Amino acid sequence: MPGTERVDLVLRSTRAVTPEGERPAAVAVSGERIAAVLPYDARLPRDARVVDLGDDALLPGLVDTHVHVNDPGRTEWEGFDTATRAAAAGGVTTIIDMPLNSIPPTTTVDALHVKRRTAQAKAHVDVGFWGGAVPGNVKDLRPLHDAGVFGFKCFLLHSGVDEFPQLDPAQLADALGEIAGFGGLLIVHAEDPHLIDDAPPAAGRRYADFLASRPRAAENTAIEGLIALARRMNARVHILHLSSSDALPLIAAARREGVRITVESCPHYLTLKAEEIPEGATEFKCCPPIREAGNQDALWGGLADGTIDCVVSDHSPSTADLKNFDTGDFGTAWGGISSLQLGLPAMWTEARRRGHTLADVVRWMSTAPAALAGLPAKGAIEAGRDADFAVLAPDETFTVDPVALHHRNRVTAYAGRTLTGVVRATWLRGRLIADHGVTTSPAGRLLQRP
Ligand SMILES: [Zn+2]
């Protein structure tokens, strides 16, 4: 055995996904950390617990940097207990909570303390927090950064909740200037408010009408503006939930000239298609919207060529009544898709069909999000990192039954879909936290920007 650390646990798999790719390996764990990644048939210390996974794949635990937990304040929508249970059952070992939809929103240090106190005893996985940039809180950004938030979210148009207002262009520049001054990260819901105002308003049961109300141009224009601002200020920005594939060339060109911009997309944009959404099926409503099949193909092109860095859930649940299932009206239904527990199988099903590997999925859903947030202990099966793992049966299929989900509200756009890839178990810092969907007592920790 390399090193002198005592090995408590060894996980062996013929399909371990390491930074060198997928291969047979024995992963030795000492306490909460990975001690070494050894050959599959390496001689193991006699007193270590050995878990042989056979042909089940051993992945690093997923890192989901886009989760709306809504706790406290809208715990009837979700909550730290239910959200982190769902994460654990879905192979996600780290979440970063979004600053809005909870009350208070995370726009001051006091509010951050409220959120941390709320999450503390309920976290089944590790939990970090984004701060929020809203009108009038520029002076709060540095203290929030110092208190450990991973970056700051802002909107350029109405966020959906009144207590988290959007920034106008002058306020955006002020916030970004402040954040760049301390080397922070601004993460942006990028849709242009004027182009949304000019589009036909969403109303009624037809998905096509809703789609027309959130045109691609709104995303493209907002992203173009952000690129210009990031370039001018030499600031670091991240585009949340990219849906419009038209923006990919802009982003790729900006990167080539050295603009510090990263991008995420979400499982729903990559696996669900506008053409297949039934009338009145508001469980598919989110903003920006799920677009057409051709757009989805282009997004996969952006993943393949590296323009899109991360795939994260944007898990944004609400109570069922806010989804207007009685009328099917897309206009006033809550916009948000619940998928925290389903992201890995949803993505693996489609990735595999398109010829991608588990190593690709791990890069998009674990390594890159960990790098985005700046979590050096997460995101890879490598000596020294946290012993966070997802065990996936990659060839097994299941049909999504909302009742089997840990989300507080069992409304999901994936209901009834057959997905490939069953999460068998999840380990957090060397401890089994979910086994065949059954979670243990909370073992998560609250994370701060290192
Ligand atoms: Zn979101």
CA of 188 to the centre of ligand 1 (A): 10
pLDDT at 428 over 70: yes
CA of 245 to the centre of ligand 1 (A): 18
Ranking 199-203, 354-358, 443-447 by mean pLDDT, the lowest is 199-203
CA of 35 to the centre of ligand 1 (A): 36
pLDDT the model gives residue 155: 94
pLDDT the model gives residue 450: 84
Buried b (16+ CB within 10 A) or exposed e, 154-183: bbbbebbbeebbbbeeebbebbbebbbeee
Q: Are 24 and 389 in contact (CB under 8 A)?
A: no
pLDDT digits (tens, 9 = 90+) for 369-426: 999 999 999 999 999 999 999 999 999 999 999 999 999 998 899 999 999 999 999 9
pLDDT at 2 over 60: no
Count of alpha carbons within 13 angstroms of residue 196, beta-carbon side: 18
Q: Are 143 and 109 in contact (CB under 8 A)?
A: yes
CA of 8 to the centre of ligand 1 (A): 39
CA of 101 to the centre of ligand 1 (A): 9
pLDDT at 1 over 70: no
Ranking 221-230, 253-262, 406-415, 426-435 by mean pLDDT, the lowest is 406-415
CA of 395 to the centre of ligand 1 (A): 31
CA of 159 to the centre of ligand 1 (A): 9
Interacting residues of 115 by C-beta distance below 8 A, sequence separation 6+: 71, 72, 97, 102, 104, 106, 129
pLDDT at 224 over 60: yes
pLDDT the model gives residue 3: 56
Q: Are 69 and 80 in contact (CB under 8 A)?
A: yes
CA of 311 to the centre of ligand 1 (A): 13
pLDDT digits (tens, 9 = 90+) for 163-192: 999 999 999 999 999 999 999 999 999 999
Rg, Å, the chain Cα set: 21
Closest to 414 in 3D by CA, of 290, 271, 265 = 271
CA of 52 to the centre of ligand 1 (A): 38
Cis peptide before 104, with omega less than 30 degrees from 0? yes
CA of 268 to the centre of ligand 1 (A): 13
pLDDT digits (tens, 9 = 90+) for 109-122: 999 999 999 999 99
Q: For residue 4, name the pLDDT band (cuts at 50, 70, 90).
A: low
Tell me the backbone φ, ψ of residue 449, rounded to 5 degrees.
Answer: -55, 125
pLDDT at 90 over 60: yes
pLDDT the model gives residue 80: 96
Share of the chain above pLDDT 90, in %: 93
- In whole angstroms, give the CA distance from residue 168 to residue 197: 15
CA of 74 to the centre of ligand 1 (A): 15
CA-based torsion, 412, 63, 188, 150: positive or negative: positive
Tell me the backbone φ, ψ of residue 188, rounded to 5 degrees.
Answer: -130, 130
CA of 168 to the centre of ligand 1 (A): 19
Model confidence, pTM: 0.97
